[in-house]
Structure 1
Amino acid sequence: MKNFIILTLVLFLSVSCEKELVKQPKGLIEKEKMLDIMYDLSILEAVKYQHPLSLDSIDANQKRFVLQKYKVDSLQFAQSNIYYAADYEGYKDMFDAIAKRLEKNQRAADSLAKIDEKKAIKKKKQEEKLRKLNPELKEAMPAKANIDSIKTAMHARRIRQTR
């Protein structure tokens, strides 16, 4: 009798573990498309975190923009996200793939930034040489504007206008 109860319990547990926790929604987004959407959303979140004023100038909702880009509505995205999140291992693999993609693009961006930095240093040296050769050029060259201060001023003006 004990063996029968244990066998029934084991059989019941094995069958119940195979059952899906969340049913597949009607408009399920394909996994690759879902990865692209989540990648774009993570980039926008990073931009919003690193440079909050850069996205304040855009009055549109960034998440809505990404969903429109992939022709997906927010309910379809939410249902698909819940469906994929129900499988912990699969969801973790999705985030690992996104992290790898972000790291790859980060390395590419870093190398481009180094190239731009070297070009700026080279240009600055050339300008210094020209100024030494001809001191009158110093007055002719315009001063560079600080873009961050311009964005800050525009943001402050927008806040004053809304009050």
Structure 2
Amino acid sequence: MSKQDMVNILIDLKLLTSATGKSREVLDKHGVEQETYIYKKYNIDSLQFALSNDYYSYYVTEYESIYAKVNDSLSRMKEILSLQQERELKAKKLQDSLAKIAKDSLAIDKKTIDKDSLKVLKADEKNKGKLIPPVSEK
């Protein structure tokens, strides 16, 4: 098995083993078994994986470089996920703020319409369709 295949397999194994809570429930609900999933995805069997794992663990520097790539990839995935979650949180906060502003402005509008405002509105209704009188003679 190539180094890159080993990297990809180890990344998937780390992701699967780290699944908790709701993620674990989803995997269990769909009957996903970690090893079986990996074997099918990469079209390998347990013997191929075991032999490759033994080979790379014998050549420690090779195995270290594989794990360095795995760690780098997982770190990058974590950064991307954090950025996505941060963007989603900001978007939700903005949406909530806009909804609150709209709600508050409607409440303020209702409170600020007093008797004088109603008089102006009634006057506007009387003058509906009429020309607005000029402000000056010019």
Q: TM-score, normalised by structure 1?
A: 0.58
Please point out which of 101, 113, 125 is paired with 2:73.
Answer: 101
Corresponding residue for residue 91 of structure 2: 119
* CA distance, structure 1, for counterparts of residue 33 and residue 11 of structure 2: 17
Compute the RMSD of aligned alpha carbons.
2.2
Cα displacement string for residues 83-126 of structure 1 (whole angstroms, at most 9, x for unaligned residues): 11111222122111110111112111111111111001011112
What are the equivalent positions in structure 2 for 1:1-163 lying under 5 Å apart?
A: 29-48=1-20, 51-133=23-105
- Structure 1 distance, partners of 2:29, 2:48, is 28
Greater mean deviation of Cα atoms: 55-64 or 104-113: 55-64
Summarize deviations over 1:26-68 as a string: whole Å, max 9, x none: xxx1111111111111111122489543433221212211221
Q: Which has the larger radius of gyration?
A: 2
Which amino acid in structure 2 is aligned with residue 58 of structure 1?
A: H
Cα distance in 2, alignment partners of residues 33 and 52 from structure 1:
25
Corresponding position of 2:120? none
* Structure 1: 5+ residue stretches without partners: 1-28, 136-163
SS of 1:42's partner is: helix
TM-score of the pair, normalised by structure 2 = 0.67
Cα 1:82–1:49 shift into 2, 3 Å: farther
